[in-house]
Chain A
Amino acid sequence: MAEPLLRLDGVHTHIGQYHILQGVDLTVPQGELTMLLGRNGAGKTTTLRTIMGLWRASTGTLHFADTGLNALATPDIARLGIGYVPENMGVFAGLTVRENMVLAARDGAIDQARLDWIFSLFPALTRFWTLPAGNLSGGQKQMLSIARAMIEPRRLILIDEPSKGLAPAIVDALIEAMRELKRTATTIVMVEQNFRMAQALGDSVAVMDDGRVIHSGRMSDLAADPALQARLLGLSLGVHQ
């Protein structure tokens, strides 16, 4: 079992008067892709945002390698080597695709080799390179958002529902791109509702409900156990897309 790169212990997050995370314990092994599953409102996005420092944990600890994340501001958390692909993609519509990428490559210098690799995965980005990112379709924006996380080597990438609202063909392209990314042994935490994608990519899995992690283990075990799936997620593999 790989070393945990990210650990959450008893994390509670309040947003205003709402108690969203009610004691999240999460272990993310290094070099793997951990799927974060659960129905709407379970707290998956809140968990990612709390890791990223966009929302503060009220109690509990978050550790990234040896560093505590609780007291760090978001830019500092990002600088630890954590990339974030948010649910709404966070693409800067008024900036060109190129400018979006320049921002993501923090020193401004884009590594050409990495860029070529990204272009091989997402050819559409070359076509829109000098055009405003607002002109991109939903799927292309998602690719741009992921490309931004990939332009620099990251120690951890957080991806929130990449397949949301996308056509199945685009989802297939995304799965391929994610497989490529996994080959670099980058640690990834992905929130997904699409179980097909989850099963295709996940190594570990954590299922959330009501602000807590109610199950964690290997994806292969979950995929092989329809009864467990039904209990945790209310669906079974193969039927639900």
Chain B
Amino acid sequence: MTDQISETAAIPAAPLAERLRAQMPYWTVPALAVVGLLLIADVSTWSTLTLAGLAMGMLIFIMASGLTLVFGLMDVLNFGHGAFISIGAFVGATVLLALGGWTASESLALNLAAVGLAITAAMVATGGIGWFFERVIIKPVYGAHLKQILVTMGGLIVAEELIHLFWGPNQIPLPRPEMLKGSWVFGDVVVERYRVLAVALGAVIFVGLRFALVRTKLGLLIRAGVENGEMVEALGYRVRRLFVLVFVAGSALAGLGGVMWGLYDEIITAQMGLNILVLVFIVVIIGGLGSVEGCFLGALLVGLMANYTGFLAPKVALGSNILLMVVILMWRPRGLLPAGKG
């Protein structure tokens, strides 16, 4: 296989204006950070908020990445994604609370192990439920957007009620493990320990997803499928199987995100899935359907926006994110980095 350019004729570089235009989506994140700095004025507060925003963004990214791939690849609008978030949180919480000894211990290793087990349990549970959801609930309504929305919304409600059934009607507090509590203080800047974990995990998942998408045959199929599923089938690949895989992976990631979010908020409720779903939708729309990179940018923007407005004008926090979505869609109607359908 040759990767060499065997002709000497140079390919003309795209004009500067066009290259800049292609890069602009990436600049939105620093741009927002700068705007935040100007409005908040105080550098240490800004730093704290920015780190908090990045952490929040990473967590939303984890949950949104599955949804955007599912939509991009399968053209399926799954409102039930929120159910996976909630269920993941509750399953993870159950495990974490059961491992009380480990979470209370002063050993970071034990703490992380507990979190790790909780996450694994959540991912297995939501992955499994996701498989069931795709085969039973979604498959009959492939291609029918209206029915998909209705049916998956119904599924979300049923899931919420089932959580009430099994775990009771109340919120469940979820304290962080001992060594993940508290923060490091650098001068006036406060860095919560748990948030560092969130950022690290989010980054690992982002890198992992990108690697899988760009370097593996499976990732290649997914990227091609997002663009033109029909052609991938015409090349001899069974795209339907790919759907199930992506759906299950997306559900598992949602479950993972649910646990992490539960620890972030230190409380879990049956409604949390629906509440976060709203943010996830905003992120997916901003990023561009089907694009993991766009999703990542969108999530960081939403995280930063939520934290900046949370400080500056708490009452309009959610509204500000909607405003952000409006502004970005006015600029790029298909999102920041759309994965392009056809």
A residues sitting closer than 8 Å to B (CB atoms) are: 52, 54, 73-75, 78-79, 84, 86, 88, 90, 92-95, 98-99, 102-104, 106, 108, 110, 112, 115, 119, 123, 126-131, 148
Q: Which residues of A contact B17 (CB under 8 A)?
A: none
Is there contact, CB below 8 Å, between A110 and B5? no
Task: Give which listed residue, A75, A94, A98, A119, contacts B236 with CB less than 8 A.
Answer: A75
Shortest Cβ distance from A221 into chain B, in angstroms? Answer: 33
Of B2, B9, B220, B236, the most chain A CB neighbours within 10 A belong to: B236
Q: Which of B318-342 contact A (CB under 8 A)?
A: 339-340, 342
Contacts A93-B340, A94-B227, A103-B224; A130 near B3 (Cβ below 8 A): yes
Is there contact, CB below 8 Å, between B1 and A104? no
B228 at the interface (CB under 8 A from A): yes
Task: Give which listed residue, B3, B11, B227, contacts A92 with CB less than 8 A.
Answer: B227
Shortest Cβ distance from B12 into chain A, in angstroms? Answer: 10
Q: Which residues of B contact A103 (CB under 8 A)?
A: 220-221, 224, 232, 235, 237
Is there contact, CB below 8 Å, between A126 and B238? no
Shortest Cβ distance from B210 into chain A, in angstroms? Answer: 14
Q: Which of B252-300 contact A (CB under 8 A)?
A: none
A-B pairs with beta carbons under 8 Å apart, 7 shown: A78-B236, A88-B342, A92-B223, A92-B228, A99-B220, A103-B235, A126-B6
Is there contact, CB below 8 Å, between A78 and B235? yes
Is there contact, CB below 8 Å, between A115 and B1? yes
Q: How far is the CA of A106 from the CA of B1 in the complex (A)?
A: 15
Shortest Cβ distance from A215 into chain B, in angstroms? Answer: 28
Across the A-B interface, how many residue pairs have beta carbons closer than 8 Å? 82
Of B9, B227, B340, the most chain A CB neighbours within 10 A belong to: B227
Is there contact, CB below 8 Å, between A95 and B220? yes
Contacts A112-B1, A130-B3; A93 near B227 (Cβ below 8 A): yes
Task: Give which listed residue, A86, A92, A130, contacts B224 with CB less than 8 A.
Answer: A92
Task: Give which listed residue, A79, A88, A112, A128, contacts B11 with CB less than 8 A.
Answer: A128
B230 at the interface (CB under 8 A from A): yes
Shortest Cβ distance from B193 into chain A, in angstroms? Answer: 39
The 10 closest A-B pairs by CB, nearest first: A78-B236, A90-B231, A74-B233, A84-B234, A75-B238, A92-B224, A79-B236, A126-B6, A75-B233, A92-B227
Q: Which residues of B contact A78 (CB under 8 A)?
A: 233-236
Q: Which of B232-248 contact A (CB under 8 A)?
A: 232-239
Is there contact, CB below 8 Å, between B230 and A126? no
Q: Besides the contacts A54-B233, A131-B11, what 7 more A-B pairs have beta carbons closer than 8 Å?
A: A74-B234, A90-B230, A93-B340, A103-B220, A108-B217, A112-B1, A126-B7
Contacts A110-B1, A127-B9; A75 near B228 (Cβ below 8 A): no
Q: Which residues of A contact B223 (CB under 8 A)?
A: 92, 94-95
Q: How far is the CA of A130 from the CA of B11 in the complex (A)?
A: 12
B residues sitting closer than 8 Å to A (CB atoms) are: 1-3, 5-7, 9, 11, 217, 220-221, 223-224, 227-228, 230-239, 339-340, 342
Q: Which residues of B contact A79 (CB under 8 A)?
A: 236
Is there contact, CB below 8 Å, between B339 and A148? no
Is there contact, CB below 8 Å, between B230 and A127? no
Q: How far is the CA of A38 from the CA of B221 in the complex (A)?
A: 35
Q: Which residue of A lies closest to B225 (CB)?
A: A92
Is there contact, CB below 8 Å, between B340 and A94? yes
Is there contact, CB below 8 Å, between A102 and B7? no
Shortest Cβ distance from A115 into chain B, in angstroms? Answer: 7
Q: Which residue of A lies closest to B9 (CB)?
A: A127
Shortest Cβ distance from A142 into chain B, in angstroms? Answer: 14
Task: Give which listed residue, B3, B220, B239, contacts A129 with CB less than 8 A.
Answer: B3
Q: Which residues of A contact B1 (CB under 8 A)?
A: 98, 110, 112, 115
Task: Give which listed residue, A52, A90, A99, A112, contacts B228 with CB less than 8 A.
Answer: A90
Q: How far is the CA of A79 from the CA of B234 in the complex (A)?
A: 9
Q: Which residues of B contact A129 (CB under 8 A)?
A: 2-3, 5
Q: Which residues of A contact B2 (CB under 8 A)?
A: 115, 126, 129
Q: Which residues of A contact B231 (CB under 8 A)?
A: 86, 90, 92
Q: Which residues of B contact A88 (CB under 8 A)?
A: 342
Is there contact, CB below 8 Å, between B5 and A148? no
Shortest Cβ distance from B117 into chain A, in angstroms? Answer: 36
Q: How far is the CA of A102 from the CA of B237 in the complex (A)?
A: 13
Shortest Cβ distance from A46 into chain B, in angstroms? Answer: 14
Shortest Cβ distance from B289 into chain A, in angstroms? Answer: 13
